[in-house]
Amino acid sequence: MKETVKNILEKYINISCETTLIVGFSGGWDSMCLLDIMNKLSHEYGFLLVAAHLNHNWRGKESEAEKERCLAFCEENDITFISDTLAEGTKATEAVAREMRYDFFKRCAEEFEADAILTAHTKSDNAETILYRIIKGTGLNGLEGIKEIRDLAGFKVIRPILNFSRKEIEEYCIKNELYPNNDSSNANTKYARNNIRHNIMPAIKLINPNIENSLITLADIAAGNNKVINELMENIEKQITIGNKWLTQNFLILNSAIKQHFIYKLLLKNDLEPSFSKIQELINFISENQKSKTGKTLSVTNDLWLFVSHKYTYFVHADNYKKIEEEITITKTGEYVLNNEYKFIIKENNETPEKFPKAYMKVAFVNIDKSLFPLILRTRRNGDIIQPFGMQGKMKLKKYFINKNIPEHDRDKIFLLCSGKEVLWAIGAGLSEKLRSVGIPQYKITLEILKND
């Protein structure tokens, strides 16, 4: 077993005395087996081994006792131990537990500058996952089951014992005189995966005693078919995508199977568990809102939305909604830094440009009356108004953005050059009539993104 684990690791990382590896360690049979094997390998290679234990805080004293036993095992074997405990009241669901667990592993990997994170998923876990996805409704991608390696925010997550069954793991622990924790919640069949493990799989084994291997074979077949499909999908995606966005109308003319596969891959890319009902919900939402000029959003998770307009469809992350509250005052020509990310430049101009910039550009040639100073560079506020270029009257900035077909989630990211409540330049959207240049423009104004050295 140790040799198999070593060979799997060497497929993905270079193991040496300078390597640092994080092992997710609950203290149960699977993680106890993996940590013991990794401890033996660390003696051979001299790498730093870190056991990361997350107390989900679901079972009070029992959970705390398990943590203490994990600590004792690590101290006895000279293994670095790190732990954390979830806050009281954290939602006790499988999905939340998984999310919190991987967030903890990521923090540990960052702290120790780890080369990889190792988790103790087994062949039995994989078979149960495939069956769970079949029950929930899945596509070919879901049938591939748990991958031997995946990415987590730039860190490699490797499953070195994925080829071993739970029975083989238990035999290893007994043979090596290991004493794992027995989590009482693992027997609670209100959790779907426990129900599959304790009730559904035993019933299926009455029909097919070799069901675990059958499901793994199914996963291998699905993986092979997916390689063929993915090659075909890459060509289709090139025709309908622009960066992270895809053309709504081009997407809608695809046949239903391709649309489903396209959405499925996007959900996986965003680390979401796809289901047929969720995929169909997103496709229906796109179809229903395909004529929207400013766009509509559908909440997919707490920090992820699907945006649909007549032109583009794409996922919007919570970071897109973060508003920069800082503002800077501009009293004269020069360079001004905003939020340590952007540089606003205003300088005198002495010649007529060969070509005036388009409205969407972040540079403009303008006249600015002295009465408008001091200027403020900021994001939008309640009560903002603008006199659109070429118009006599003023309007609310919100209406201006709607007329420009600017999505709601993008409006707080647009920087505004203002005089009081009046917007003179919505940068990247358009100028106010008040900045119209007559003759040679007085100023050239520019917004740049600061480059990190």
DSSP line for 49-68: EEEEEEE--SSTHHHHHHHH
Asked whether residue 227 is assigned to any structural domain, the reply reads: no
Q: Average pLDDT of the chain?
A: 91
The span from the CA of 255 to the CA of 233, in Å, is 12
Q: Which amino acid is at 369?
A: D
The pLDDT tens digits for 331-366 are 999 999 998 889 999 999 998 888 899 988 999 999
Going by their DSSP bridges, the two strands 20-24 and 48-55 should be labelled as parallel
Residues 268 and 357 in one domain: no
Asked whether residue 228 is assigned to any structural domain, the reply reads: no
From 288, 320, 352, give the residue that closes a domain: 320
pLDDT of the residue at 453: 43
From 170, 194, 211, give the residue that closes a domain: 211
Residues 368 and 296 in one domain: no
Contacts of 337 (CB under 8 A, 6+ apart): 328, 343, 344, 450
Asked whether residue 217 is assigned to any structural domain, the reply reads: no
Residues 372 and 432 in one domain: yes
Closest CA to 423 of 411, 440, 439, 405: 411
From 285, 301, 320, give the residue that closes a domain: 320
Hey, what are 198's tokens?
């304790």
Instruction: Using the predicted structure, report yes or no on whether residue 452 has a pLDDT greater than 60.
Output: no
Domain hosting residue 295, numbered range: 243-320
Residues 295 and 332 in one domain: no
Hey, what are 128's tokens?
């149960």
Instruction: Using the predicted structure, report yes or no on whether residue 277 has a pLDDT greater than 80.
Output: yes
Residues 277 and 338 in one domain: no
The HSE-up count of residue 421 (CA atoms within 13 Å, CB side) is 10
Closest CA to 97 of 180, 178, 35, 188: 188
Residues 124 and 192 in one domain: yes
CATH code of residue 139: 3.40.50.620
Asked whether residue 259 is assigned to any structural domain, the reply reads: yes
Left (φ > 0), alpha (ψ -120 to 50) or beta: where does 328 sit?
A: beta
Residues 72 and 164 in one domain: yes
Asked whether residue 431 is assigned to any structural domain, the reply reads: yes
Hey, what are 88's tokens?
């009281």
Number of independent structural domains in the chain: 3
Dihedral of the CA atoms 68, 70, 76, 81 (nearest 10)? Answer: -100
Residues 278 and 334 in one domain: no
Lowest model confidence (mean pLDDT) among 63-67, 209-213, 417-421:
63-67
Residues 35 and 125 in one domain: yes
Mean pLDDT of 177-195: 82
The span from the CA of 262 to the CA of 340, in Å, is 38
Q: In a 10 Å sphere around its CB, with 0-12 CB exposed, 13-18 middle and 19+ buried, how is residue 276 labelled?
A: middle
CATH code of residue 252: 3.30.465.60
Asked whether residue 41 is assigned to any structural domain, the reply reads: yes
Residues 53 and 133 in one domain: yes
Residues 303 and 335 in one domain: no
Asked whether residue 232 is assigned to any structural domain, the reply reads: no
pLDDT of the residue at 171: 96
Q: What is the pTM of this model?
A: 0.60
Asked whether residue 91 is assigned to any structural domain, the reply reads: yes
Residues 199 and 307 in one domain: no
